[in-house]
């Protein structure tokens, strides 16, 4: 969940490290630090708070001159976000400095062992054992010491290491935590992801689990898990720096909300050729499966809940959706007749990776829906379909989520056709519906000004309920999560029909209920639930399709999204909910792109 950068070249390291950390801050932002090789050995500064604060400290630190260094932005796991617990960590002898992303599960055992040998620890972190081990094993050969150190570690790590004895070199190691090498001219980099490097280079090498690497200004050397030197060709990144910048918006989240029509276009259009859905990357015999299990976390799981309904409805195969953190430990009955679909924007979510491995171990076929090319999940799964959303920086996913919906829709229609369960007319209608989604999403964005006015009216509510049935319920879960994560308002999503079995006790005069009413065939049922909450004094904000004019008679406020195919409307229905979360958070003065306690990529359990 933390962000790592390493640099070696001929330019001053500090501005490069700080700029990289600003780009990586969305991965964690409770503290930050840098270490630089100077003519007097290793020097570091670190502090709790955001990178901006670190930059201010760096501006006053005279002893940070050097052309090789490492940096880190942290999401605390072991030890609170204090100055001492911030990374880098240095060995007691000052010879080594490291930054780490991941968790060392056996750190207590290693710490005890080293303490018995006289090593004195400065921090409460799991990370510090790594740097103290490096120093303990060091006999003049850093690579040997690194190899011995990582052999002792259980858990996950992406590490960047400086040694005072080897000027101009940064060492690195990876296990279950993302790390890439950025290949430049006369300079090279390590980073947790491309956003930190794109300003400097578009050529990157993905490190694999078990690999270690060393960079100097003119060389990149990689060793495989057995310690043998290995050659890896860089891949060229196609997107450019603008994709990783705010481009005139106040927040990445708003930029990404507004980019949704383009992201949908990029995800859907190339996959429809001559009126047919073509999923080039997928080789699956759909007749083999008697069950599909979709598993993911957070918003990706909510996308899976939409996918469950759409796939089951079209393919007539039983489909379940389950959060990955539960599925991985449930010992589920799955076998070679099961298709396990995992969904992940980052491709690095720890629980989703574990769920994918669980599916594979039990003989299921696995299909991943992923945004980040070359990510762990993309590499592990048998088949991958990429969402072409482009880089998503805001912690709250928006374009990542809608493109996941689009892929699930494409897959459902494709699979149903393969299974012979869609007649020509229905197939054509769905393909037409899919092609229409980018333009419909564009029209849904026109609701922005109206949603902003509603947010000004309701931002101070104690609690907001989201209700809906069927696909609307899956959307209620995502709308509620969006609001919670960036505005910190309490919110609950309820299946509209379930409300009266207890939760309606919480409905009182003035309570805002967001009623999702796009599911045409269940509209009358949801309308009854609207009446039930209104009878108890609730204020109702309804989201419905444009043709549903009677909704004006039911709700206090109405947001209307374009009419879509009855299975495809979630792509547009989520847009006013994203806007509502955004504007409520804005009204409440929240840090929208960096909500408290969260991080973009959840690489720990």
Q: Which of residues 19, 193, 485, 554 is near ligand AGP by CB under 6 A?
A: 485
Residues in CB range of 56: below 8 A, 6 or more apart: none
Please identify, using beta-carbon distances, which residue of 34 and 324 lies nearer to ligand AGP.
324
Of 516, 568, 519, residue with least CA distance to 314: 568
Q: Of the ranges 3-11, 137-145, 293-301, 548-556, which one interacts with ligand AGP (CB under 6 A)?
A: 293-301
Distance CA 145, CA 473 (A): 54
Of 112, 151, 148, 116, residue with least CA distance to 129: 112
Of 441, 482, 475, residue with least CA distance to 263: 441
396 binds ligand AGP (CB under 6 A): yes
299 binds ligand AGP (CB under 6 A): yes
To the nearest whole angstrom, how small is the minimum distance from the Cβ of residue 39 to ligand AGP? 42
To the nearest whole angstrom, how small is the minimum distance from the Cβ of residue 597 to ligand AGP? 11
To the nearest whole angstrom, how small is the minimum distance from the Cβ of residue 339 to ligand AGP? 19
The sheet carrying 539-545 orders its strands as 490-495, 463-468, 512-516, 539-545, 557-561
Site string for ligand AGP, 306-345 (x = CB under 6 A): --------------------------------------xx
Q: Dump the DSSP string for 551-584.
A: GGGT-SEEEEE----TTTTHHHHHHHHHHHHHHH
Distance CA 268, CA 386 (A): 11
The residue number with the shortest CB distance to ligand AGP is 298
To the nearest whole angstrom, how small is the minimum distance from the Cβ of residue 415 to ligand AGP? 22
Please identify, using beta-carbon distances, which residue of 101 and 601 lies nearer to ligand AGP.
601
Please identify, using beta-carbon distances, which residue of 89 and 600 lies nearer to ligand AGP.
600
395 binds ligand AGP (CB under 6 A): yes
557 touches 454 (CB < 8 A): yes
To the nearest whole angstrom, how small is the minimum distance from the Cβ of residue 239 to ligand AGP? 18
480 binds ligand AGP (CB under 6 A): no
Q: Of the ranges 17-25, 297-305, 314-322, 420-428, which one interacts with ligand AGP (CB under 6 A)?
A: 297-305
Distance CA 15, CA 106 (A): 35
Q: Which of residues 101, 149, 188, 352 is near ligand AGP by CB under 6 A?
A: 352
Q: Of the ranges 172-180, 296-304, 406-414, 502-510, which one interacts with ligand AGP (CB under 6 A)?
A: 296-304
- Number of Cβ within a 10 Å radius of residue 262: 16
Please identify, using beta-carbon distances, which residue of 397 and 440 lies nearer to ligand AGP.
397
The residue annotated as part of the active site, out of 22, 548, 594, 600, is: 600
602 binds ligand AGP (CB under 6 A): yes
Please identify, using beta-carbon distances, which residue of 253 and 332 lies nearer to ligand AGP.
253
Distance CA 364, CA 358 (A): 9
Please identify, using beta-carbon distances, which residue of 5 and 354 lies nearer to ligand AGP.
354
Placement of tokens 């991985």 in the chain: 328
What would you report as the CA-atom Rg of the chain, rounded to the nearest whole angstrom? 25
To the nearest whole angstrom, how small is the minimum distance from the Cβ of residue 482 to ligand AGP? 6
Q: Of the ranges 141-149, 214-222, 393-401, 454-462, which one interacts with ligand AGP (CB under 6 A)?
A: 393-401
Residues in CB range of 244: below 8 A, 6 or more apart: 23, 194, 195, 198, 391, 393
101 binds ligand AGP (CB under 6 A): no
Residues in CB range of 200: below 8 A, 6 or more apart: 16, 182, 184, 187, 189
346 binds ligand AGP (CB under 6 A): yes
Tokens describing residue 379: 């590499």
Placement of tokens 């689990």 in the chain: 209
User: 491: number of CA atoms within 13 Å, CB side?
Assistant: 30
Distance CA 503, CA 40 (A): 65
Q: Which of residues 127, 169, 212, 349 is near ligand AGP by CB under 6 A?
A: 349
DSSP E strand stretches across 436-489: 463-468
To the nearest whole angstrom, how small is the minimum distance from the Cβ of residue 345 to ligand AGP? 3
Please identify, using beta-carbon distances, which residue of 90 and 602 lies nearer to ligand AGP.
602
To the nearest whole angstrom, how small is the minimum distance from the Cβ of residue 394 to ligand AGP? 8
Distance CA 345, CA 369 (A): 8
The residues facing 485 across adjacent strands are none
To the nearest whole angstrom, how small is the minimum distance from the Cβ of residue 285 to ligand AGP? 27
474 binds ligand AGP (CB under 6 A): no
298 binds ligand AGP (CB under 6 A): yes
To the nearest whole angstrom, how small is the minimum distance from the Cβ of residue 405 to ligand AGP? 13
297 binds ligand AGP (CB under 6 A): yes
Q: What single DSSP character describes residue 447? A: G
Q: Which of residues 300, 367, 380, 551 is near ligand AGP by CB under 6 A?
A: 300
Torsions phi, psi of 483, nearest 5? -65, -50
Whether residue 600 lies in the annotated active site: yes
Distance CA 582, CA 586 (A): 6
Distance CA 340, CA 356 (A): 8
Site string for ligand AGP, 218-257 (x = CB under 6 A): ----------------------------------------
Per CB under 6 A, residues contacting ligand AGP are 297-300, 344-346, 349, 352, 395-397, 485, 601-602
Q: Which residues are catalytic?
A: 2, 600
């Amino acid at each position: 969940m933390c962000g790592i950068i390493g640099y070696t070249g001929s330019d001053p390291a500090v501005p490069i490290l700080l700029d990289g950390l600003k780009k990586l801050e969305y991965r964690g932002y409770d503290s930050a630090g840098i270490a630089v090789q100077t003519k007097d050995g290793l020097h570091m500064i670190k502090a709790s708070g955001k990178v901006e604060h670190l930059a201010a400290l760096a501006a006053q630190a005279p002893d940070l001159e050097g052309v090789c260094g490492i940096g880190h932005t942290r999401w605390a796991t072991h030890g609170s976000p204090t100055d001492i617990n911030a990374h880098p960590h240095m060995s007691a002898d000052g010879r080594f400095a490291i930054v780490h992303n991941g968790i060392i599960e056996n750190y207590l055992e290693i710490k005890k062992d080293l303490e018995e040998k006289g090593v004195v620890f400065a921090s409460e972190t799991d990370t510090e054992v790594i740097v103290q081990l490096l120093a303990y094993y060091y006999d003049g050969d850093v690579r040997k010491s690194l190899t011995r150190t990582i052999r002792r570690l259980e858990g996950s790590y992406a590490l960047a290491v400086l040694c005072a004895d080897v000027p101009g070199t940064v060492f690195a190691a990876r296990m279950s935590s993302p790390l890439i090498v950025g290949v430049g001219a006369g300079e090279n980099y390590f980073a947790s992801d491309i956003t930190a490097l794109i300003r400097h280079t578009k050529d990157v090498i993905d490190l694999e689990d078990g690999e270690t690497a060393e960079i100097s200004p003119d060389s990149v050397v990689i060793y495989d898990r057995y310690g043998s030197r290995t050659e890896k060709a860089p891949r060229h990144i196609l997107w450019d720096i603008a994709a990783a910048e705010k481009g005139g918006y106040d927040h990445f989240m708003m930029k990404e909300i507004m980019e949704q029509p383009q992201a949908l276009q990029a995800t859907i259009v190339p996959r429809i050729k001559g009126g047919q859905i073509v999923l080039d990357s997928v080789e699956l015999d759909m007749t083999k499966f008697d069950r599909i299990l979709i598993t993911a976390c957070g918003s990706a799981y909510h996308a899976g809940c939409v996918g469950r309904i759409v796939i089951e409805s079209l393919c007539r195969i039983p489909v379940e959706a389950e959060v990955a953190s539960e599925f991985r430990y449930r010992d589920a009955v799955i076998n070679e007749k099961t298709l396990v679909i995992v969904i992940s924007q980052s491709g690095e979510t720890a629980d989703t990776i574990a769920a994918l491995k669980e599916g594979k171990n039990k003989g299921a076929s696995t299909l991943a829906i992923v945004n980040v090319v070359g990510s762990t999940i993309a590499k592990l799964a048998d088949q991958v379909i990429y969402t072409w959303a482009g880089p998503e920086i805001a912690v709250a996913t928006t374009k990542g989520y809608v493109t996941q919906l689009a892929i699930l829709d494409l897959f459902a229609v494709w699979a149903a056709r393969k299974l012979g369960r869609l007649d020509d007319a229905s197939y054509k209608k769905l393909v037409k519906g899919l092609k229409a989604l980018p333009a419909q999403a564009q029209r849904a964005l026109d609701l922005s000004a109206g949603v902003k006015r509603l947010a000004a009216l309701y931002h101070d509510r104690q609690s907001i309920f989201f209700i809906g049935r069927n696909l609307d319920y899956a959307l209620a879960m995502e709308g509620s999560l969006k609001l919670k994560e960036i505005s910190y308002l309490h919110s609950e999503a309820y299946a509209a029909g379930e409300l009266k079995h207890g939760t309606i006790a919480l409905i009182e005069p003035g309570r805002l209920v967001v009623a999702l009413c796009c599911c045409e065939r269940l509209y009358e049922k949801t309308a009854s639930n609207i009446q039930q909450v209104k009878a108890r004094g609730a204020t109702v904000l309804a989201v419905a399709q444009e043709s549903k004019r009677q909704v004006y008679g039911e709700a206090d406020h109405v947001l209307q999204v374009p009419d879509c195919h009855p299975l495809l409307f979630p792509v547009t229905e989520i847009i006013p909910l994203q806007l509502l979360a955004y504007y409520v958070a804005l009204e409440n003065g929240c840090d929208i792109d960096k909500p408290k306690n969260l991080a973009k990529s959840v690489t720990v359990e």
